[in-house]
Amino acid sequence: MIVKCKNCLPKEGIDIPDFAIAEKSKLMALTVQSPLHSTKYIIDNFKLSHRDAKYIVTHINKIYGQCNRCKFDHLDEEYMSCPECGALNFNWKTDNGGEI
């Protein structure tokens, strides 16, 4: 699936892997602990470029339903742009309720 954020480069968007629920949970936890380790995990396990891995990590929500950029708290889709600020959010609902 190709996703894009109006506030970020690349303008053409990036093609993201189809992450399993377990991978989403792991990436959310890694991103909170260390965005650097999360980026490296994506590069090593999904064979993406550093740019694409960092793009993914930057857009992973730390709280389900809340925009990372403006804190709007009514996001209800998995990959969606915030209606307030337009930022892309990876709004993953995982077995831990989507909150880290």
pLDDT, tens digit (0-9, with 9 covering 90-100), for 45-64: 999 999 999 999 999 998 99
| Predicted confidence (pLDDT) per residue in 4-49, tens digit | 988 887 778 899 999 999 999 999 999 999 999 999 999 999 999 9
The total number of structural domains that make up the chain: 1
**Domain presence at residue 72:** yes
**Domain presence at residue 97:** no
3-state secondary structure of 87: coil
Exposed, middle or buried by CB within 10 Å (0-12, 13-18, 19+), for 44? exposed
**Domain presence at residue 53:** yes
Residue 59 CB neighbour total at 10 angstroms: 21
**Domain presence at residue 95:** no
**In which element (H, E) is residue 40 found?**
helix 35-46
**Domain presence at residue 66:** yes
Domain that holds residue 32: 20-90
**Domain presence at residue 1:** no
pTM of the model: 0.87
Sign for the CA dihedral angle at 52, 72, 1, 26 comes to positive
Q: How far is CA 26 from the centre of its chain?
A: 12
**Domain presence at residue 41:** yes
**Domain presence at residue 44:** yes
Amino acid at 98: G
